Structure 1
Amino acid sequence: MKRRDFIEKTAAGTTLVGLGLSMSSFKSLDTKQLTILHTNDVHSYIDPFPADHPRNPNMGGVVKRAQLIEAIRKENSNILLLDAGDIFQGTPYFNYYGGELEFKLMSMMGYDASTIGNHDFDNGLQGLHAQLPHASFDFISANYDFKNTILAPFVKPYKIFNKNGIKVGVFGLGVELNGLVDKKMYEETVYNDPVETAQDMVRILKKEEKCDLIICLSHLGYNYKNEPNKICDLKLAATTKDIDMIIGGHTHTFLDKPTVVKNLDNREVLVNQVGCYGINLGRIDVFFDSDKNKTHQGRSIVV
């Protein structure tokens, strides 16, 4: 190396050290951020709660949620917006419009996918099918087998999203319908074991599709203290491998931040749920380094 080149390189290195930087510091420039935004059990709550509501005054509402989502998109365009089911049933909006308004508003907000909750069957398969043209997002459910129903062409077990070079696999799971939903509402829909189904999905998404992040969009419920044998999100996380994140619904569980559960490989799984009625919006930021190693932080935001 020529003396001049050596001096120039040494001087540049000295400047970096003087700034408190090393060459390894520039690896941070390769970090990619993916922001997961999510809701669950909104139950047709379009308007905010009234100002005199004893528990949730002025909280919730689609307008404020849309504004919050838009503000976050301006901060980071690399976003997935997901819903964990029970979009329907709870206000006169559903009784009158049958879900049309809910789907149109979710489409306007840019939802990417939703799983199917038990109340989304409340107008039967025909009622849900009739509203699908109003939804620009995907419906995913891996353990509801719709092959002998009108929904077969429209519901897929999983969806893969490519976000700024990050490959994200999202699959859906639903709660047992027998005893919870009138049989005539779900007709020939077959419920399959969610743990076995999750293992099949993980094999496909991790081994075959080579996803960098695997998300389970669940309507199983967070936990059942009085029914220890009933499958729930916490138990699903602990009895499976390679699920990075479970975004849940059904039990209307308000969490300030995700619960961390160790899976069968002693790796961390994030489990989150943000209550009900659109009061909160969940946010989980995942950071990937140049080797696709992940770190994360999450919280619930009051709408």
Structure 2
Amino acid sequence: MAGSQLNRRDFIRGTTAGAALIALGINPESVYAKDDLVKVVFLHTNDVHSRIDPFPIDGSRNQGMGGVAARSALISKIRQEEKNVLLLDAGDIFQGTPYFNFYGGELEIKMMSMMGYDAGIMGNHDFDNGVEGFYKQLPHAKFPILNANYDFSDTILNGMTDSYRIIKKDGIKVGVFGLGIELAGLVNKQQYGNTIYRDPIAKALEMERVLKLDNKCDIIVCLSHLGYKYDGPKVSDMVLAKSTNFIDLIIGGHTHTFMDRPEPIRNLMGKETLINQVGFAGINLGRIDFIFHRQNRQKITYNSDLQFIRTNFKI
């Protein structure tokens, strides 16, 4: 118990939490003993691209990195250490290794289910076997697929995905929704069929109203496969953050961007929206811890950690 409290105090000292707690009239040294705070841990991946095994030991830059076994072990370790953990994926689960060519995505979805993912979204490569191919793998998914701006009503996926989910962790209401990239010009029409792409900014504004104003969520997370940022008018996570009001965290994908830490962006309300993305191929596991005041569920601060996923090997 003493060691656990020491770790928690170190966590507070290592972030801006101490000053924030003092401003709220809370003693940083005693908050956990008094059970004043709740910590929710967000773990996340993106663009894993069927990387079931780690990269081979061949002298390449990513040798020994990634792989489901090492990721699963790391996630299990964190769950043993932390009470409130959410595991999320920002799309492009499929395509990239022979596992997808042979099994069509079944192995990837089954392993995500075994690791206990709480939600995921579809990236453009998740259409590589068509909407029918993705539909075929859904019985193996023990987690919801969230896509607010893909209208599947005239496809076999109608009713098989959700726009959002609300997940409760120790009294904290977490609202999670998903946004996908425009498919036309990126994916063959034959693969996405009659899927209709809706404007992601308009959908994001709708989702945050539903989650924040109607359902009183304490934190709103967007799983985005829009991409980190672009030159020109194309919608990206940067544009999304600046164009919305209540999103606290954007977990991104598509551009395979390796971010050492989340990037804070001011939203329309002048408040902070965090953007994060952890590369590709399951090389990294993103982690962001948010701390809330238990009594009023107010978000106080956050801490982030980028954890490399490496198998044990000798060269």
What is the TM-score when the length of structure 2 is the normalising length?
A: 0.87
Match in the other structure for 2:69 = 63
**2: CA distance, partners of 1:64 / 1:77:** 21
Match of 1:154 among 146, 149, 160: 160
Match in the other structure for 2:188 = 182
Change (3 A) 1:237 1:24: closer
**Structural mapping, 1:108-187, within 5 Å:** 108-187=114-193
**2: CA distance, partners of 1:53 / 1:283:** 28
- Residue identity in the other structure for 1:204: V
**1: CA distance, partners of 2:52 / 2:250:** 25
Match in the other structure for 1:293 = 298
Match in the other structure for 1:263 = 267
Q: Which runs of 5+ in 1 are unaligned?
A: 1-22
Change (3 A) 1:24 1:88: closer
Displacement of 1:153 after TM fit? 1.4
2:292 pairs with 1:282: no
Match in the other structure for 2:313 = none
Displacement of 1:236 after TM fit? 0.5
- Residue identity in the other structure for 1:260: P
Q: Which runs of 5+ in 2 are unaligned?
A: 1-24, 310-315
Match in the other structure for 1:96 = 102
Q: Residues 146 and 189 of structure 1 are in contact (CA less than 8 Å); yes or no, is this contact kept in structure 2?
A: yes
Match in the other structure for 2:11 = none
Displacement of 1:291 after TM fit? 2.2
Displacement of 1:57 after TM fit? 1.4
Q: Residues 140 and 172 of structure 1 are in contact (CA less than 8 Å); yes or no, is this contact kept in structure 2?
A: yes
**2: CA distance, partners of 1:149 / 1:171:** 21
**2: CA distance, partners of 1:237 / 1:74:** 33
Q: Residues 258 and 299 of structure 1 are in contact (CA less than 8 Å); yes or no, is this contact kept in structure 2?
A: no
**2: CA distance, partners of 1:148 / 1:78:** 38
**1: CA distance, partners of 2:105 / 2:40:** 30
- Residue identity in the other structure for 1:233: D
Count of aligned pairs between the two proteins: 279
- Residue identity in the other structure for 2:116: G
Partner of 2:145, secondary structure, is strand
- Residue identity in the other structure for 2:225: H
Identity of aligned residues (%): 57
**1: CA distance, partners of 2:297 / 2:170:** 12
**1: CA distance, partners of 2:170 / 2:151:** 32
**2: CA distance, partners of 1:53 / 1:281:** 22
- Residue identity in the other structure for 2:126: D
